[in-house]
Each structure stands twice: as structure tokens, then as C-alpha cells.
Amino acid sequence: MAVFPTNDDLTVVYVSGPVREFAAFRRDIVRSYLDSLDRCGDLGARVRAGRLVGHLRTTPDQPNLFRVPYGPGWALVGDAGVVMDSITAQGISNALRDADGLAAAVVAGLGGARPLAAALAEHHRRRDARLTPMFDFTVGLTRFRGLRRFARAFFAAVADQPAETQRFLGAFAGVTPIDQYLSIGNVARVLVRARASARRASAARVERSDGIDHVLGDGEAGGRRR
């Protein structure tokens, strides 16, 4: 699920699911859509309280693939060059970065700094190197496999730390490469910080309990301890 603002004070509410379930989903698309939202806290109720503007739109045909991005007299950017499932919402970011990299290659090639073919080949190499980690992460998400215990612990730790949640969303936005954010070192850092935070919270609860015991006196507090 994803919920985000768009133009004219409207909100996009996005649902993704395994393509193998698409035929069953579309038999009653509104009901299937709302049933899916009901699995996410009060989101279903909030959407029902709103007003549907336009039509529900589906995108079942999203092959994940890389294309050679240039040839004699032509070049590709964005989804034309790398088709990546929209589950990670990378399309516009990829298009802008591709256009920037392609423009630099064309300027270098036509300006005489290096042969055009060599400049375009270098752009191709850099594009693939930059997009491959997010591409692999995206394809992994589209399989809709259940999270293993370690992954559940990691994402729970991220969700419990607002600053870490922002870093995770930044990785989605490309501020930090996704493979760096999900590296063993960074995952360990997040889990260690979450464990330390949990210990501090536990200690604080013990201190508050001791304070209550002192105020209430041994009789009532002792009963509470039992």
C-alpha cells in the first residue's frame, strides 16, 4: 500500500499485489481494492469515507528489463530504457537521471571531448551500475514472499525510529543507494540502536514503577508486584 498527495487536494491510494491474482482481483475490482485496504489499519475506513474521483486504474503489464539505451540516431531514457515495476515508484527519478546522464554524454561526444559512441557506452555502463541495486530490490518485492524473521526485526526497528524511517524513505528516493542502506553494516547499526532504545525504555519503566511503589507505600505496591 502507498498513500500520497497529488494535485487539486486529492490523494492517491495505491495497492500492489501478485500478478497471478489479477484475474480474480478484477472480477469485482472495487470490492477487491477496498478489501486490500482493510488489511492496513484504518485505511479502508478512511478511503470509504472519501470520494472516488475518476476510475480505478490497473497496470498488470510491467516487465522488468534493461534495454540498450542508444543506437544510430536514437537514445532511450526512463521506462523506455529500463522497465521497472512501479511497486518502488522509481519511474520519474530514473527518467530525470537518465536524461541528465544522456545529455552529458551527447555534449561530450558532439563537443569533441571524446567519440560519441564511447561517451554513450560510458553512459550505458553507469546507468546499469546505478540502477541494478534498486532493480534487484524491486524485483524481489514483486515476488511477494513473506519476510524472514531477521527482515521482520529490521523493518520493525526502522518503523520504531522516526529518523531511521526517514533514512529508509530516502533510500527509496535515491538519496542513498538502496544496496548501501540494506548493507550488513547498516542493518546491524539499525538493530543495535533499536535494542539500545528498548533497553533505555525498559529501564525508564522500572524507574517509574519504583517511583509509584514509593508513593503508594509497600502494601499496595507490593500487591501490584505480586
Listed by start position, the domains of the chain span: 2-48, 65-142, 149-216
Superfamily of domain 65-142: FAD/NAD(P)-binding domain (3.50.50.60)
* Residue 215: predicted pLDDT: 41
Nearest to 54 by CA among 7, 101, 98: 7
The per-residue pLDDT for range 149-183, each reduced to its tens digit, is 888 999 999 999 999 999 999 998 878 899 999 99
* Residue 147: predicted pLDDT: 81
pLDDT band at 84 (very low <50, low <70, confident <90, very high): very high
Residues 190, 151: Cα–Cα separation, whole Å: 12
Residue 208 clears pLDDT 90, i.e. is over it: no
* Residue 205: predicted pLDDT: 64
The per-residue pLDDT for range 183-197, each reduced to its tens digit, is 999 999 999 998 888
* Residue 209: predicted pLDDT: 52
Residue 61 clears pLDDT 50, i.e. is over it: yes
Q: Can you name the residues that pair with 13 across neighbouring β-strands?
A: 3
For the stretch 139-150, what's the b/e string if a residue is b when 16 or more beta carbons lie within 10 angstroms of its beta carbon?
eeebeeeeeeee
* Residue 176: predicted pLDDT: 87
Residues 35, 27: Cα–Cα separation, whole Å: 13
* Residue 120: predicted pLDDT: 97
pLDDT band at 200 (very low <50, low <70, confident <90, very high): confident
Residues 220, 216: Cα–Cα separation, whole Å: 6
pTM: 0.79
